[in-house]
Amino acid sequence: MDGQRNISEEEKIQEIGAELERLHAENKELCLMLHTMNNKYTALQAHVEKIREEVDFMNESCSSHYLTKRRPIESIKPKSTRIFVRTNEDSTSLIVKDGYHWRKYGQKITKDNPSPRAYFRCSMAPSCHVKKKVQRSPDDKSILVATYEGEHNHPLPGELDGMTSLPTTSSTGLMAGTSSSSTSRDLSQPTVTLDLALCGSNHEAARSTETLKNDTNDNNKNIMEECITLLSGDPNFRVALAAAVARSIISNHPSNS
């Protein structure tokens, strides 16, 4: 009886061992399948992004060709704006804070630059078609190069709270002064350099007082022009102004009794 019991226990142990080996092999096969599916998904995602970029490029080319044939006499304006932002060289972030909200939709390595290039769309898409590409400069890793394509067709988020911004045709941000040019000027992409490095460098301390004064005067002038535009378009303001002028004339020239 004891011998039969030992044989039965050994058989159970062998069966359990065989089952464990089978489960181990099945688990290994499932891991391999999961790894293969992940690689295929990554490749498919990259392929879809490439097709999307090609379609966008074709649409832009067709639109540019149509506008060139339709309006050949009009002056040519740059379609993109480029800015340079100085950051920490050790940072890997590709975020450029310009006041607008963006959604990242891709990233890839280009042939001419070992640093990746990130692609962003305005968060108001598809109603707003502005895109942004951000990549570190191949010559200076501390500089982020941001290229904007198109112009925003909506106000800057938080603009009513007094926040300043970069580009729209109606904003008074830094890029607005560089996004337009006449036919006699160079049609290359305009550039603006910002220094956002959080370090007390000698270069930061050596910015001239005259440049700061000029920037302040330009900002004040832009703010004054916006105020004049807003007030002149308000009918209540025009009525109040006319009443004030009438009272001034009556007080200076009283009627004879």
Tell me 111's DSSP state: T
Q: What is the full per-residue pLDDT of the chain (257 aa) written as tens digits?
A: 556 666 688 888 888 989 999 999 999 999 999 999 999 999 999 999 989 888 888 887 776 666 666 555 555 554 788 899 988 888 888 888 888 999 999 999 888 888 999 999 998 888 888 899 999 998 888 899 999 998 888 888 776 444 444 444 333 333 333 433 333 334 344 555 554 444 444 444 444 445 555 555 666 666 767 666 666 666 666 677 777 777 777 766 555 44
What is residue 127's DSSP assignment?
A: T
Contact 187, 76 (CB under 8 A): yes
Strand-pair partners of 117: 108, 135
What pTM was estimated for this model as a whole?
A: 0.36
Residues 217, 218, 223, CA angle at the centre, nearest 5°? 95
Which helix (H) or strand (E) covers residue 40, if one does? Answer: helix 2-70
The CA distance from 136 to 115, in Å, is 6
Query: Terminus-to-terminus CA distance in the chain, angstroms?
Result: 142
pLDDT score, position 219: 62
Contact in structure between 147 and 133 (CB atoms under 8 Å): yes
Q: Residue 179: its pLDDT value, please?
A: 38
Residue 69: predicted pLDDT: 61
The residues pairing with 121 across neighbouring beta strands, listed in sequence order, are 103, 131
Per-residue pLDDT, 20: 92
Residue with tokens 């007080």: 251
Extents of the domains making up the chain: 1-74, 80-206, 214-245
Which one, of 94, 92, 114, lies nearest residue 102 by Cα? 94
* CATH number belonging to the domain at 80-206, selected among 2.60.120.700, 1.10.3430.10, 2.20.25.80, 3.40.50.12780: 2.20.25.80
Q: Is 44 helix (H, G, I), strand (E, B) or coil?
A: helix
Between the alpha carbon of residue 235 and those of residues 225, 232, 239, 243, 245, the distances in Å are 18, 8, 6, 13, 15
- Asked if residues 151 and 131 have their Cβ atoms less than 8 Å apart, the reply is no
E strands within 89-176? 102-110, 113-122, 131-136, 143-149
| Strand order, beta sheet including 102-110 | 102-110, 113-122, 131-136, 143-149, 80-86, 191-195
DSSP 114: E
